């Protein structure tokens, strides 16, 4: 007699276990589920873009604005601030239209006005005769633009 127990017919696996079958099913269905989710996401994205175009709404991807930091250095308030700061060193100018445009900007956006004055103060830190000429030319151009804008809205 041998000391090794004999294998019985009942102990032999005749088919795959139920746990193994579940694993196979999950691995087989995962790519199908991922593909379906990706298809639904793509469909909903293009559907929303089509709805925006149909309702004459701007495309959310293409809508952009100028950052306040950049707008502050191109505003009427910036030119008015330059004129006010350099008036004692470079001379005074008649800038009534620029003042009115600056006041209008101040009523619309206080942050822009604050940043414009700060940017103007940074620009005139070291002021010399050449910079005075450049600043005065810039202020005259901004004042003329403000006058055109005021004449167009009146």
9 band by pLDDT with thresholds 50, 70 and 90: low
**For residue 120, what pLDDT is reported?**
92
Mean pLDDT throughout 10-26? 72
27 band by pLDDT with thresholds 50, 70 and 90: confident
DSSP string, the chain: --SSPPPPTTTS--S--HHHHHHHHHHHHHHHHHHHHHHHHHHHHHHHHHHHHHTTPPPTTT-----HHHHHTTSHHHHHHHHHHHHHHH-----HHHHHHHHHHHHH-HHHHHHHHHHHHHHTSS--HHHHHHHHHHHHHHHHHHHHHHHHH-
Condensed to tens digits (0 to 9), the pLDDT of residues 89-148 reads 898 888 999 999 999 999 998 888 999 999 999 988 888 888 899 999 999 999 999 999
**For residue 30, what pLDDT is reported?**
85
Spans of all domains in the chain: 18-63, 68-153
């Amino acid at each position: 007699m041998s000391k090794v127990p004999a294998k019985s017919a009942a102990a032999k696996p005749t088919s795959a276990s139920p746990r193994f079958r579940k694993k196979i099913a999950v691995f087989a269905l995962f790519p199908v589920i991922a593909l379906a989710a990706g298809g639904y996401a793509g469909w909903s994205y293009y559907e929303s873009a089509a709805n925006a175009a149909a309702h004459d709404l701007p495309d959310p991807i293409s809508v952009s604005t100028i950052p306040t930091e950049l707008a502050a250095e191109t505003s009427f308030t910036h030119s008015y601030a330059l004129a006010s700061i350099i008036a004692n060193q470079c001379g005074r100018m008649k800038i009534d239209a620029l003042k009115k445009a600056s006041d209008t900007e101040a009523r619309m956006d206080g942050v822009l006005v604050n940043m414009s004055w700060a940017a103007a103060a940074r620009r005139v830190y070291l002021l010399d005769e050449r910079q005075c000429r450049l600043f005065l030319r810039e202020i005259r151009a901004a004042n003329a633009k403000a006058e055109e804008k005021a004449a167009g809205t009146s």
